[in-house]
Amino acid sequence: MSEPETDSRLAAMLGATVDEKRQVLAALIDGSAVPGHETASALLELLRDDSKELRRRGADALAAAYEHEGLRAKIRAGLESESLDTRWGVAFALWQCSQVDERVFSAACDAMGCADGDIRWSASRIACGYAESHPQAVAALRTRARDGNAESRKMSLYCLRNLGVSDTEAFLAALDDSDSAVRLAALAGLSRTAAGEPAVLRKVQGRVLGDKEPGVRRAAAAALGAIAGADRESRDVLERALADQDADLARAARAALRRLD
């Protein structure tokens, strides 16, 4: 910005036109404008803007503002907001500052249930990073894998997989989920962490030929090829899938059989 602006002026510009918002955000991020409490409040408000671009830039500006010790408590208070957009924006800002704690983890887990895929995967990265060094957080992911909305269940399962958690019970239960994306996540988890226990193999075999979604059937075939200790019955199921009218399923089954040879 061409000249110093007062805190109240910066806050006002953050509530003005899109161009003015962008101008102030750029100045806050590069440090040419110094935020105060009014600006911090306006940034927290901006996290609920209709524009995804402005919400993201607002979080970046909050990360820069967190360098000012006098604003830290105000920024962290956003983690208690009733607005998921606000909680997520603050969590993302604090993650940029390497200030992830249990409340940031909780906000990230909440964001894993939102409709925006970019946010879900960013949130899962934060959640997994925290759980890697805080084993007690894995229990929260297990709970959300069971009790969250469909997006939350799916993302929590992917977190458990990425963490290398051998939670066969959670993955097997998710194979009965009504949402196909959750079933796919369960198969991804079993493929990476499960051994060839009979209960695992029978459940996955059932999805190869019995799931109503073609993508899940293909993923189940691939999983049989990835799970260590696949048995004769697994081979029989895959050989039956070779004759399926779904050419992609047949290809997946063929590849799985090659892996088992």
- Residues 120-163: tens digit of each pLDDT: 999 999 999 999 999 999 999 999 999 999 999 999 999 999 99
Judged by DSSP in three states, 97 sits in: coil
Q: Could you tell me which residue, 196 or 66, shows the higher pLDDT?
A: 66
Name the band, by pLDDT with cuts 50, 70 and 90, for residue 5: low
Predicted confidence at residue 2, as pLDDT, reads: 39
Q: Could you tell me which residue, 231 or 206, shows the higher pLDDT?
A: 206
Judged by DSSP in three states, 161 sits in: helix
The CATH number linked to 18 is: 1.25.10
Q: What does DSSP assign to residue 164?
A: T
Domain residues for the domain of 48 are 1-99
In a domain, 247, yes or no: no
pLDDT tens digits, residue range 33-51?
Answer: 999 999 999 999 999 999 9
**From CA 58, how far away is CA 89, in angstroms rounded?**
8
In a domain, 171, yes or no: no
In a domain, 250, yes or no: no
In a domain, 178, yes or no: no
Which pTM was predicted?
A: 0.91
Q: In Å, how far are 55, 137, 164, 197, 236 from 168, measured between CA atoms?
A: 38, 18, 11, 10, 23
Residue with tokens 């009790």: 147
In a domain, 44, yes or no: yes
In a domain, 7, yes or no: yes
Count of the separate structural domains present in the chain: 1
In a domain, 232, yes or no: no
In a domain, 86, yes or no: yes
Cβ neighbours around 161 below 10 Å, total: 22
Please name the amino acid found at residue 105. F
**From CA 222, how far away is CA 208, in angstroms rounded?**
9
Judged by DSSP in three states, 212 sits in: coil
